[in-house]
């Protein structure tokens, strides 16, 4: 870690396997997970945070959330399975400093109503041959911010549950890489597109 080390907040609502991937790879990232915030009390991700000696708290109120992010001098917000829409005030305050992970190849199977298992059921229902995962910056429109990284897989004859598992493996990989690039100041947005620099 050098002096530019970034303070990271990870926002979750559930199991937190993406959070776990970040915890497991934190040593290779020029940043520190300062706080894990859940909008749900029983999110298993809070247990993962505690086990890694990271502060994990439940916040449901948007104003308290913004104050907490500011109090912790957060440089990067990672939405890792956070199932609540962020208020415009936070999106504006942290413009180009909020990253989301989505379990499909955006712009397919994303936006309003596409979250969790619903995405994988829709993929199988449509019969598309490829799916995957996407990391992107967050703007005020759901899943529409500039795309950072994507990786695909063949759907084959996977059930929705099997597909979720396979996609999660990709999610963990590209989320860690994305956060690493961000913390190394390698992500530039030019004409609404992300360029990964040296």
Enumerate binding residues for ligand GRF (CB under 6 A).
Answer: 12, 14-18, 80-81, 101-103, 116, 168, 171
Active site residue 102: yes
Annotated binding residue at 165?
no
Specify the DSSP element, H or E, that contains 9: strand 6-12
Q: How far is the CB of 3 from ligand GRF (least distance, A)?
A: 30
Q: Which residues lie below 8 Å from residue 77, measured CB to CB, with a gap of 6+? A: 8, 9, 11, 69, 90, 94, 97, 98, 99
- Collect all residues with Cβ–Cβ distance below 8 Å to 143 and sequence separation of at least 6: 100, 102, 106, 107, 110, 111, 114, 136
11 among annotated binding-site residues: no
- As measured in angstroms, the least distance from the Cβ of 75 to ligand GRF is 21
**CA dist., res. 161 & res. 167, Å (int):** 10
- Closest to ligand GRF by CB, 41 vs 198, is 41
Our CB check for ligand GRF shows the closer of 80 and 90 to be 80
Closer to ligand GRF at the Cβ: 54 or 63? 54
Residue 156 marked in a binding site:
no
Feature table: binding site for (6R)-10-formyltetrahydrofolate:
60, 83-86, 100
């Amino acid at each position: 870690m050098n002096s530019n080390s970034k303070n990271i907040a990870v926002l979750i609502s559930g199991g937190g396997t993406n959070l776990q991937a970040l915890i497991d790879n934190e040593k290779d990232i020029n940043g520190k997970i300062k706080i894990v915030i859940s909008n749900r009390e029983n999110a298993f991700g809070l247990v993962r945070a505690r086990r890694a000696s990271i502060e994990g708290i439940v916040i449901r109120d948007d104003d308290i959330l913004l104050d907490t992010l500011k109090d912790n001098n957060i440089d990067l917000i990672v939405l890792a399975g956070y199932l609540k829409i962020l208020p415009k005030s936070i999106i504006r305050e942290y413009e180009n400093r909020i990253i989301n992970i989505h379990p499909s190849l955006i712009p397919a199977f994303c936006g309003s109503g596409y979250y969790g298992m619903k995405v994988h059921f829709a993929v199988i229902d449509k019969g598309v041959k490829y799916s995957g995962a996407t990391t992107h910056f967050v703007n005020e429109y759901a899943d529409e911010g500039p795309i950072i990284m994507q990786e695909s897989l063949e759907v084959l004859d996977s059930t929705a549950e099997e597909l979720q598992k396979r996609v999660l493996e990709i999610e963990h990989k590209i989320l860690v890489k994305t956060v690493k690039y961000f913390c190394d100041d390698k992500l530039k947005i030019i004409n609404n597109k992300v360029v990964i620099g040296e």
